[in-house]
Amino acid sequence: MDRDDLLAALARLVPPERLLTRAGALSAYESDGLTAYRARPRAVVLAESADEVIGTVRACHAARVPFMARGSGTSLSGGAVPIEDGIVIALNRMNRVLRFDPEARVAVVEPGVVNLAVTALAVPHGLYYAPDPSSQSVCTIGGNVAFNSGGAHCFRHGMTANHVLGLRVVLGDGTVAVLGGDSLEQAGADVTGLFVGSEGLFGVALEITLRLVARPAVYRTVLAAYDSLQAAGDAVSRIIESGLLPGAMEIMDRLAMDAAEAAVHAGYPTGAAAVLIVECEGDAAQVAEEFEQLLRILSASGVAHTHIAADDEERARIWKGRKSAFSAVGRLSPDFIVQDGVVPRAKLGEALATIEQLSRTHGIRVANVFHAGDGNLHPLILYDGREPGAHDRAEVLAAEILRLCIRLGGSITGEHGVGLEKRAFLGEMYNEVDLDCMRRVRQAMDPHGVANTGKKLGPPSGATASHGLHPLERAGVISRA
């Protein structure tokens, strides 16, 4: 198929009102949650069925035109930024629950189903869907699969990969495949796990089989206030060393608390430099014993004071503040970069102290809010994009934080993915043999390299990147990836 024939082929797949080509309609799809990157697609297909997605992928493969599948566009790594002059396959209208079996604790959903809607379906049956990213009220399961999303409670329950049992997918070459099934116990290679987290480089998930888990009988939540961010990080190490496995452990610094407090009045302490939120969950006897042990550990950790949530309403308010922190920081700064590096938990205090020092050195405010249980940092680097060079300076600081994570034995991403933002750092974390292996796996799934071209591994060999110059390239910090 000739590239010029592609739009005609797409027009035969979907009615005119669901094939967007006008500039005004396309502008809504130019960016994702990381607004520093923008690109104008050739067209957007508002898909309503698996057959329409399959037909679009096959047409793009035949025409050698890149495509990108998109849900709510909440990606914070540029993973859902369109490919210039490519095709966007919008999946929000594919939001049906295809099968729900509470006895088997399974839900089969289309990729446009919103994360929190799965839990809403399951709660009346004493179940819920465990992965809980902060954007769970709007982000879709398809995007969660693409980026292996986590959330506040992933420390105990695991990431999306731990809760996806099976997939029906269309690969980049148009092949439709069924991966996995309904059971945790499956024979053969874990191709489902390979697909989860592939950031759209392999193709598009059409149906997703999710594992549901029983809701805990009891929750106990405590806020522990500290006089320094490092002390809060060191307390996490103490909890881990004790052998406790809380449902969640989150840290917020003063800036993040101020923003969340102004937004939702969560009741966070006013005089603390940082607060550690720890939640125990399970049956009543187990939680009572674990919570008593937790309070002893916190008491010996140099805590300034603790506050225990009195009831479900107060617990919900504490978590509402934490989950609204990213958006609430907009009250402190017109623009910010959200980083997503990971460090070993034993080095959490050291990492936080270094980030504070880097913030002072660069003269740029950093609000810290993160998943302390698994060392997944989310420093929010605040800047004003209206000031000349401010964004580039913020990106330089972001690069230093990522390199700190690598130096401490961690990772450049925990749950936001590599996308466009971090692809230049992949070669600093892996050697060329490792990267070549990744490229060969991708080529096997998508021989023409049309699935989410340019993300994670960069453009295919011989192709040019379509997303412009990275801010760090302008600043001379990295070379073209």
What integer is the mean pLDDT of 224-237?
Answer: 93
Q: Which residues pair with 207 in a beta bridge?
A: 168
**Alpha carbons 72 and 39: distance in angstroms, whole number:** 17
The predicted pLDDT at position 464 comes to 46
Q: What is the pLDDT of residues 105-123, one digit of tens each?
A: 999 999 999 999 999 999 9
Percent of the chain with pLDDT over 90: 78
The predicted pLDDT at position 475 comes to 60
The predicted pLDDT at position 412 comes to 96
Specify burial of residue 436 (Cβ count, 10 A radius: 0-12, 13-18, 19+): exposed
In the numeric block, the tokens 């009195």 are attached to 310
Secondary structure class of 431 (helix, strand, coil): coil
For the beta sheet containing 335-338, the strands, ordered from the edge strand earlier in sequence to the opposite edge, are 305-308, 218-226, 274-282, 248-253, 366-371, 379-383, 335-338
Q: What is the pLDDT of residues 129-181, one digit of tens each?
A: 999 998 999 999 999 999 999 988 888 899 999 999 999 999 999 999 999 99
At 481, is the pLDDT very low, low, confident or very high (cuts 50, 70, 90)? Answer: very low
- 219-252 burial, b at 16+ Cβ within 10 Å, e below that, comes to bbbbbbbbebbbbbbbbbbebbeeebebbbbbbb
Name the residue among 430, 436, 337 with its Cα closest to residue 37: 337
CA-only gyration radius of the chain, Å = 22
**Alpha carbons 5 and 418: distance in angstroms, whole number:** 33
Asked if the model's pLDDT at residue 431 lies above 70, the reply is yes
Specify burial of residue 61 (Cβ count, 10 A radius: 0-12, 13-18, 19+): buried
Percent of the chain with pLDDT over 70: 95
**Alpha carbons 146 and 400: distance in angstroms, whole number:** 27
For the beta sheet containing 106-109, the strands, ordered from the edge strand earlier in sequence to the opposite edge, are 97-101, 106-109, 203-211, 164-171, 176-180
Asked if the model's pLDDT at residue 261 lies above 50, the reply is yes
The predicted pLDDT at position 183 comes to 83
Asked if the model's pLDDT at residue 476 lies above 70, the reply is no
**Alpha carbons 67 and 58: distance in angstroms, whole number:** 10
Q: What is the pLDDT of residues 353-404, one digit of tens each?
A: 899 999 999 999 999 988 888 889 999 999 998 999 999 999 999 999 999 9
Residue 129 has which token pair? 């869907």
**Structural element, H or E, at residue 452:** none
In the numeric block, the tokens 């917020």 are attached to 252
Angle at Cα 106 formed by Cα 102 and Cα 108, nearest 5°?
120
Name the residue among 40, 135, 192 with its Cα closest to residue 338: 135
Domains (range + CATH), the chain: 3-90 (3.30.43.10), 97-214 (3.30.465.10), 218-407 (3.40.462.10), 423-474 (no CATH)
Q: What is the pLDDT of residues 196-215, one digit of tens each?
A: 999 999 999 999 999 999 99
Residue 126 has which token pair? 């004493």
Angle at Cα 364 formed by Cα 358 and Cα 367, nearest 5°?
85
The residues, any chain, with a CB within 8 Å of residue 461's CB and separated by 6 or more, are: none
Which amino acid makes up residue 159? M
The whole model's pTM is what?
A: 0.92
The predicted pLDDT at position 180 comes to 94
Q: Residue by residue, what is the 3-state secondary structure of 400-420? A: HHHHHHHHCCCECCCCCCCCC
Q: What is the pLDDT of residues 59-80, one digit of tens each?
A: 999 999 999 999 999 998 999 9
Computed over every residue of the chain, the mean pLDDT equals: 92
The predicted pLDDT at position 50 comes to 98
